[in-house]
Structure 1
Amino acid sequence: MAEPGRVRSIRHSVRLGDARDIYLGTIVSPNTRRGYGIALAALVEAFGADSDVGLLDPDRVDGWFRFRWGGASAQTFNVRLASLRAACTYWAERCWLVGDPLQRLRPRPVPADRSRAVTRAEVTAILGLDVPLRERVLWTMLYETAARAEELLELDVPDLDTANRCARVTRKGGTVDVVAWQTGTARLLPRMLAGRRTGPVFVTDRKAKPHVAVADTDPGSGRGRLSYRRAAELFEDNTAGFTGGPFTLHQLRHSRLTHAAEDGASTPMLMTLSGHTSVRSLAKYARPGKDALLAWQANTDPAARRRR
């Protein structure tokens, strides 16, 4: 029986490591779970897996977060903060938190970026580089489908419908959707698969380590699923020599959507191509590039029309 006058706390004491694992277990999408896991792993490492999640101090969390990601880009800073905020919201709903350990932190303003799409000529040059077949397939598929790199790297061979040039992917947020490719991918993909019917579509050059999950291993060769980090490194290394390079894998998606907009694709078609559910989210991708602007100006110049 509680002592008279004493207020009994309704907060449940939960280990930070357990709180992290329980929250990540609620996220369906492997890509989202992996992304959120980066920030949460760093939090657990800094404050200890055995510490009480409810005792996270706002001042200490603020100092740690700014030290850990203060030098990162505004986008990375905001992504890591959003990951922690989503977890804290979940923990608070279960009475594991009383206050807000992130109350001192605010998202940073992200400067407008009007130059992320590469030109069609640059895309042609990138896709024509003398690189291993796996990279040629991934880069071509990324551009032709306008999919996120994480979505394609999570593909397994049974997800593919090569006859109809499409595949089932898990979009950001866990929605199952279909992406479609064109002739470039259709010509290269069968050569890379070489008759494989199971396992990840994109695999590493070497056999997977023993701790790699069976679902992320090709049963025939024993090679593991290609990681986003390695795929990104290879792309940036191979595009470092371009003017404005190195480029990122995301720029292939960005460029495809921009080029489709320049070619007159409707907003509904662009949303289907990209997997966006918000026109506002799509807007930054559907902005015509410099080459398209110059061509439009030349074609609509009254003086040029008089000379014809």
Structure 2
Amino acid sequence: MSITPLRTGHGAVPLGDAVARFLDRYRDEPGTAGTYAETLTHLLAAAGQNAPIAELGPPLYAVVMARWDERAPATWNKHLSALRSFAAYAIRNEWIVADPARHLERRKITQRGDQAVPQARLEALFTDDRNTLRERVLWRLLYDTAARAEEILTLNIGDLDLEFRRARTRSKGGDTEYLHWATATARLLPRLLAGRTAGPLFLAERRSPASGKRARALTDIDPVSGRGRLSYPRAEYLFKQASVRHDPHGSGWTLHQLRHSALKHLAASGRSAPELQAKSRHKHLATLGHYVRLGEETSARLTADNDPLARRRPR
């Protein structure tokens, strides 16, 4: 995609053009581009495509961020980071002189001890026939690969290597990497493909609009049915709704918990930190600390195994 140089000078650039130029920098990182686009779409809706970029200021950013006031701290921080990244880009180009997010603060994320979902409950969810085939394949694939949800949702059929049970993806840093899945996913994938040979792996329920603001890029549309790529918000909503039936607390789970659970279960089975790093594709071992640190399931098993009054089955 060719980009026409924008006029420089304080406030001279239309906001819509600046956003398009910013997102084009991530054209080879669809996961990152999608995350940023989700946030910046709301910025454009609040200010307007043709608003001068000089209108970027604390009041406008506060209006945009108010949309996520009641959401989890991690969600708030994600969108705030996107707005700050865009502002930093605008400052480097001398379109604005100060960060509009300077009055907004990241929110503290309280670490929960039950992020990993017990395997038995996940298996009950994965085999629940009340859920569609698309959802069951998506959830299995996320768990088997321990991948980020954005990486799986941006997969195209051409990225799959069914023979070797792997898929090619772009990491957060733009590197080409491979995700590997197990037998349960391998059995379901051909049913999901149903003969399709091109287009997004996971499709939305409806056809994508051919024109207008909601029109998608051709790479995000199935060439046969015209259906668009399944979005992260929709996938997250469906998972939350389905998992409520299996969550004893009645809250439901998040897609990220599938990645967290997969790595925690591997750690509990005795896999080393370097092995977990190979599976998760984290750049640094230090970031694996909360996965290597065993959690509630291990505590419960150790307690039961060392209970002197528990009845023992004869060996």
Tell me if TM exceeds 0.5. Answer: yes
Q: 1:175 Cα shift? A: 2.3
CA apart distance, 1:263 = 0.7
Q: 1:152 to 1:62 in 2, by over 3 A?
A: closer
Residue 215 (1) aligns with residue 219 (2): yes
Equivalent in the alignment of 1:45? 45
Cα offset, 1:89, TM superposition? 1.0
In the alignment, structure 2 segments of 5+ residues that lack a partner are: 1-7
Q: Alpha carbons of 1:224 and 1:64: their partners in 2 closer, same or farther (altered >3 Å)?
A: closer
TM-score scaled by length of structure 1: 0.87
Match of 2:299 in 1: 293
Quick one: which of 271, 281, 292 aligns to 1:265? 271
Asked if 1:274 corresponds to 2:273, the answer is no
Once the two structures are overlaid, the 10-residue window that deviates more, 89-98 or 280-289, is: 280-289
Cα separation, 2, equivalents of 1:278 and 1:153: 24
1:256 counterpart = 2:259? no
The change in CA–CA distance for 1:49 and 1:229 in structure 2 (over 3 A counts) is: same
Q: Which amino acid aligns with 2:283?
A: T
For the 8 Å contact 2:11–2:53, the answer to whether it is kept is no
Counterpart Cα distance in 1 of 2:57 and 2:160: 48
Structure 1 stretches lacking a partner, 5+ long = 1-8
Which structure's CA Rg is the greater one? Answer: 1
Deviations 1:1-26 (A, max 9, x none): xxxxxxxx964622222211111111
Equivalent positions of 1:136-285 (< 5 A) are: 136-210=136-210, 211-242=215-246, 243-244=248-249, 245-285=251-291
Give distance in 2, aligned partners of 1:168 and 1:38.
24
Given that 1:62 and 1:104 are in contact with CA atoms closer than 8 Å, whether structure 2 keeps it comes out as no
- Equivalent residues of 1:208, 1:224 under 8 A apart: yes
1:286 deviates by 3.2
What is the aligned-residue identity percentage? 40
- Offset of residue 83 of structure 1: 0.7
Residue in 2 that maps onto 1:76: 75
Give the partner amino acid of 2:70.
Answer: G
In the TM superposition, what whole-angstrom CA distance separates every residue of 1:201-223 from its partner, at most 9, and x where no partner exists? 22234433323332222223333
Q: Could you tell me how far 1:63 is from its partner in structure 2?
A: 4.0
Residue 255 (structure 1) shift? 0.7
Cα distance, 1:283 vs structure 2: 2.2
- 1:72 Cα deviation (Å)? 2.6
1:47-97 C-alpha deviation (Å, 9 max, x unpaired): 333333234333x24642553333332212211111111111111111111
Find the aligned partners of 1:222 and 1:52 in 2 and give their Cα distance.
Answer: 35
Per-residue CA shift, 1:238-262, capped at 9, x if unaligned? 2222213412222111111110010
CA offsets, 1:115-145, max 9 Å, x none? 1111011011111100222222111111111
Larger mean CA deviation between 127-136 and 116-125 belongs to 127-136
Number of residue pairs aligned between Structure 1 and Structure 2: 297
Whole-Å separation in 1 of the counterparts to 2:269 and 2:190:
29
Distance between the aligned counterparts of 2:228 and 2:52, measured in 1? 36
> Match for 1:120: what amino acid?
Q
| Mapped contact 2:113–2:296 kept (Cα < 8 A) | no
Residues 263 and 276 of structure 2 are in contact (CA less than 8 Å); yes or no, is this contact kept in structure 1? yes
Cα root mean square deviation, aligned:
2.5
C-alpha contact (below 8 Å) 2:11/2:52 kept by paired residues: no
